[in-house]
A and B are shown apart, each in its own frame.
Chain A
Amino acid sequence: AQSVTQLDSQVPVFEEAPVELRCNYSSSVSVYLFWYVQYPNQGLQLLLKYLSGSTLVKGINGFEAEFNKSQTSFHLRKPSVHISDTAEYFCAVSELHSSASKIIFGSGTRLSIRP
């Protein structure tokens, strides 16, 4: 069965600094990978996804993530963060099967931006 590990529960960064949120997954088969974001007092929404093709995936609000199969990682990056990026970020994985498959989420990383 698949699993997801987000090693950092909290990441504080200064505004306009770069950030990387780490995500590692475990699975014996090919996977889909996702990053979801939950802004304060809002519901979760999709930030970006990797299904196939290019390993570098671009999402909304200037975020991007790179799928690294050998390291089983899908780290999220942004070159310059803004106060509005303050949110909780969740990495998620879904195994590719011929039939339906569940999506498993990590424990989340709380990104706090300091002015």
Chain B
Amino acid sequence: GAGVSQSPSNKVTEKGKDVELRCDPISGHTALYWYRQSLGQGLEFLIYFQGNSAPDKSGLPSDRFSAERTGGSVSTLTIQRTQQEDSAVYLCASSLSYRNEKLFFGSGTQLSVL
């Protein structure tokens, strides 16, 4: 595709349920990032991938959060046993190389935990 694609665009779930958020980066982009944007909180770094490996997972808020990337392309962010504080917009971005010269962002997934 022409840009970074994220699905679903909106997700409403009940507290305690698991959710999976998907990101399709721009073809050929080797680096992929996940961020969380909460109201008034800016962009919180979660994790990034270089190829299929994740050199830095330090931003994941708790062990309920995990992410994987397969085939150097699609990535899935999984949140287990969702809590109300997980409600936010989850943004995915990709870049051409590990030099991180420019990130291309998706439109995000708005997650609401009731």
Query: Closest chain A residue to B56 by CB distance?
Result: A102
Q: Does B50 contact A (CB under 8 A)?
A: yes
CB-CB contacts below 8 Å: B21-74 with A: 31, 33, 35, 40-43, 45, 48, 50, 55-56, 59
Interface size of A by CB at 8 A reads 22
A36→B106 CA distance, assembly (Å): 14
Task: List CB contacts (< 8 Å) of A68-106 with chain B.
Answer: 90, 94, 99-106
Query: CA separation between A86 and B96, bound complex, in Å?
Result: 29
A99 x B98 contact (CB < 8 A): yes
Q: Interface SS of chain B: helix, strand, loop or mixed? A: strand
Query: Does residue B103 face the partner (Cβ distance < 8 Å to A)?
Result: yes
A79, B89: Cα distance in complex, Å:
33
Residues A100 and B42 in contact, CB atoms below 8 Å apart = no
Are the CB atoms of A51 and B106 closer together than 8 Å? no
A90 touches B105 (CB 8 A): no
**CB-contact partner of B100 in A9, A45, A100, under 8 A:** A100
Which of chain B's residues has its CB closest to A95's CB? Answer: B100
Taking the complex as formed, is B77 at the interface, i.e. its CB lies under 8 A from any CB of chain A?
A: no
Nearest residue, chain B, Cβ from A42: B107
Give the interface of A toward B (CB within 8 A): 6, 9, 32, 36, 43-46, 49, 51, 90, 94, 99-108
List 4 other contacts, CB 8 Å, given A36-B103, A44-B91, A102-B59: A43-B106, A49-B101, A99-B55, A103-B103
